[in-house]
Structure 1
């Protein structure tokens, strides 16, 4: 099958980015500061707007908007992954193929991307991002997960502080 990505200048995209070894792996939250630094460095050299982001122990979701006339989200994702990989100790197991290619054994090679098509799609993916720690059983309330853009959205009056984690109304969006 021939895999094709959608490229839209200035587009807003939702991503799921996974670690290679997902079982019992807390690498992303354990190295959250290095991940934040990597994102900040990439953002400084290849600007993009962060609409939503959640980091879980072994994967992350983000919703970003590219500058007008820019389609290159692939470089941004690649550089974020490289930045974290360079910042952390080399303790992971690597396959012979990864060793031959000089790759770390941290990230899955591919990631999932989705071009946001309209406001309803944007809201659904923003909700998904913020609800994800509850979905995975990491917290009972969305507000209790520390690695998320949820507090920014509460400050802006978009979500109530008790959204989704108490009343379970996943699609309540004010």
Structure 2
């Protein structure tokens, strides 16, 4: 059984996001640009600093620091992932990769459902 730890205090977090089926799509220039723009857009309305970020073909690692008293990283990631999916329609809606559950939940084929944080 998978156990997801969710921090409730503090304001620096480590994340790992993985592409859907570990496809090497994070090398695609359009997706990289969409990701950069999405992060910039979210930071305007929900500030955070990126202390470190490493992108690999099928996943990325980030360390974020949020403002004092703010631990809502989940909404930030949701907005970022949604934006990348919206602006990368060819990669986001590959019908050959979407199963019944993905169609039911209107999920894209860019990201896995969850992200890890420590």
Q: Does the residue aligned with 2:41 lie in a helix, a strand or coil?
A: helix
Q: Does the residue aligned with 1:81 lie in a helix, a strand or coil?
A: helix
Aligned: 1:33 with 2:33: yes
What residue ranges of structure 1 are gaps of 5+ in the alignment? Answer: 115-174
Aligned: 1:96 with 2:94: no
RMSD value, Cα: 1.5
Measure, in 1, the Cα distance between the counterparts of 2:41 and 2:26: 17
Measure, in 2, the Cα distance between the counterparts of 1:101 and 1:33: 26
* Structure with more contact order per residue of length (Cα contacts < 8 Å, sep ≥ 6): 2
Measure, in 2, the Cα distance between the counterparts of 1:53 and 1:21: 21
Measure, in 2, the Cα distance between the counterparts of 1:100 and 1:34: 25
Corresponding residue for residue 116 of structure 2: 112
Higher strand share: 2
Corresponding residue for residue 9 of structure 2: 8
Measure, in 2, the Cα distance between the counterparts of 1:88 and 1:42: 17
Query: Residues 39 and 80 of structure 2 are in contact (CA less than 8 Å); yes or no, is this contact kept in structure 1?
Result: yes
Aligned: 1:64 with 2:64: yes
Number of equivalenced pairs: 111
Measure, in 2, the Cα distance between the counterparts of 1:4 and 1:49: 22
Measure, in 1, the Cα distance between the counterparts of 2:111 and 2:75: 15
Measure, in 2, the Cα distance between the counterparts of 1:36 and 1:17: 14
Normalising to structure 2: TM-score of the pair? Answer: 0.85
Q: Does the residue aligned with 1:64 lie in a helix, a strand or coil?
A: strand
CA-to-aligned-CA distance 1:29-57 (integer Å, 9 cap, x gap): 21211110011111111100111011111
Normalising to structure 1: TM-score of the pair? Answer: 0.59
| Deviant stretches of 4+, over 3 Å | 1-4
